Amino acid sequence: MADGDWLAKGGGTGTEDEGNDHVEATTPFRILTRDATDQDTFNEAVWGRVFNRWRDTSRVPRAVVQASCVAHVREAVELANRLQCRVSVRSGGHSWAAWSVRQDAVLVDLARLRHMTYDKKTRIVSCSPSATGEQLNGFLRGEGRLFAGGHCPDVGLGGFLLQGGMGWNCKNWGWACESIVGIDVITADARELYCSDVENSDLFWAVRGAGPGFPAIVTSFHLLTRPSLQMYNSVYIYPQSMFRTVLQWVIDTCPTADPDTEIVCLAKRTADGDDTEIIAGFLSFKPSQADAEAAMQRVRDSRPAGAKVEVWCEPTNFARQYAGQRVEQPTGYRFCSDNAYVDNHADVPAVLEKAATSLPTRKSFVLYFAMNPTSRRPLPDMAHSMHSDHYLALYTIWDDEADDAQCTGWVHDIMKDVQRHSVGSYMGDADFRYRTTRFWSRENGERLRDIRRKWDPEGRICGYLDAGDSSGVQGLENEFDWVDK
């Protein structure tokens, strides 16, 4: 049977499989095609795991492969090569622009590829890309270890780590991708490889920051873990009128703050939606409450007067933190996000004030994530190479399609001003279709482009979803769109 005929008939047997700890092909290859599958079933396979309800449904993949073992991923790439079409990948489905859904591509969904093992001797955990930070930390809890994965509980490790990984306490512990010690991949020509700093080292360099332009499909990450600690939350909530004062306090506190304490500042609506409040949050990872209180005393002593609410070293845990994130970013809504690393020499409170005081909907919020001092140290030799002391992210959330233009317009309007005070952006909160900016240093961007051409010269892996999905092997421009070219 010709490949096209086999694809049109759906391929495989359609047998369901849970994919636990699968390495070899123990189940039939499962594929759903747009021409031979019931429309509702196919749409669910394409969009069911996409977090964002604001979607471009004009993009229709050729097929969806529900991989439950590594062999299925390899077979999907082999099929795409025979059909001369692209292949896209989905780990968690949390990218705002649904990077995994690409026109006429074979979509490889890794949800059923599930494995997780821990080596007590090396303290390395190995897991599939579809695993979430919440799942991984639940698994590691019994080992007395943790991994600084994504804050949102449903973010898959695949996309998170490829983009660098702005995880728990990133300002002090560094980027999550720095904890990658090895990866297993399927290349664009369907070879199975292991990559580390000594084997296929250029792919290992690229996996730590290439984002969706990584020129292979990761099937397993091997990650260094950290000792598990207790968690303590200190929160100070102020009225909107104190935004500049509170943010400047947070900024001034960061360089000499406790190295086991994550620091954020949020602008969000009050519970009744009638006003905006400014929240300074300090999450400490410490052996005991006494240690947390000692670490937080300087913060408490320096806090501005006028807080509406104060919480001092309240015990918490990952379960509570993930639950709070679910409330902040609820399922079933429409999202538009953008971000910037604000220049260290900028008047940051002034640059961010408009965003923080003009939230367009009740659920929208603005995040300032403190990055100093990790932003002041030399980064390891890896693709990820863009950061500053100050990270701004806009999360616009709404539920009515009629509000699409207003909400997306607000994000784009804010970023027109902010981007001129930025040094670049983080891929995880970006949408390449609407704004071009820098995601890597110039040198790293060029090196990444060369690696992509070497390992995927035909552009088999979909790569970056820019305007018109046209970047191909060339990749992103890695330049500000407002620069006079």
Contacts of 92 (CB under 8 A, 6+ apart): 49, 51, 130, 132, 154, 155, 156, 157, 158, 159, 160
pLDDT tens for 82-129 read: 999 999 999 999 999 999 999 999 999 999 999 999 999 999 999 999
- Cβ burial, residue 193 (10 Å; 0-12/13-18/19+): middle
Phi, psi of 234, rounded to the nearest 5 degrees: -120, 130
pLDDT for the residue 113: 96
Q: Crossing angle for the helix pair 289-302 and 243-253, nearest 10 degrees? A: 130
159-173 mean pLDDT: 97
pLDDT for the residue 484: 56
pLDDT-derived band at 29, boundaries 50, 70, 90? confident
pLDDT for the residue 30: 86
* Residue ranges per structural domain of the chain: 3-109, 116-227, 230-429
* CATH code linked to domain 3-109: 3.30.465.10
- Lookup: tokens for 353: 């004030």
- Lookup: tokens for 136: 């991984």
> Domain 230-429 is of which CATH architecture?
3-Layer(aba) Sandwich (3.40)
Higher pLDDT, 30 or 127: 127
pLDDT tens for 35-84 read: 999 999 999 999 999 999 999 999 999 999 999 999 999 999 999 999 99
pLDDT for the residue 3: 36
pLDDT-derived band at 273, boundaries 50, 70, 90? confident
DSSP 357-401: T--SSSS-EEEEEE-TTGGGSPPPSSS-----SEEEEEEEEE--G
pLDDT tens for 172-191 read: 999 999 999 999 999 999 99
Cβ(111)–Cβ(68) below 8 Å: no
pLDDT-derived band at 222, boundaries 50, 70, 90? very high
Does the structure show a pLDDT above 80 at 20? no
**How many whole angstroms separate alpha carbon 447 and alpha carbon 385?**
12
| Closest C-alpha among 461, 443, 465 to residue 452 | 461
pLDDT for the residue 14: 36
Average pLDDT of the chain to the nearest whole number: 93
pLDDT for the residue 118: 98
Q: Please tell me the pTM assigned to this model.
A: 0.93
| Closest C-alpha among 169, 177, 149, 231 to residue 369 | 169
- Lookup: tokens for 157: 């490790």
pLDDT-derived band at 8, boundaries 50, 70, 90? very low
> Domain 116-227 is of which CATH architecture?
2-Layer Sandwich (3.30)
Is 3-109's fold the same as 116-227's? Answer: yes
* Segment (H or E) for 318: helix 318-328
**How many whole angstroms separate alpha carbon 435 and alpha carbon 448?**
20
Does the structure show a pLDDT above 90 at 204? yes
pLDDT for the residue 26: 53
Q: What length is written for the chain?
A: 485
Phi, psi of 327, rounded to the nearest 5 degrees: -70, -40
pLDDT for the residue 12: 40
pLDDT tens for 226-266 read: 999 999 999 999 999 999 999 999 999 999 999 999 999 99
DSSP-based three-state secondary structure for 470: coil
**How many whole angstroms separate alpha carbon 246 and alpha carbon 346?**
17
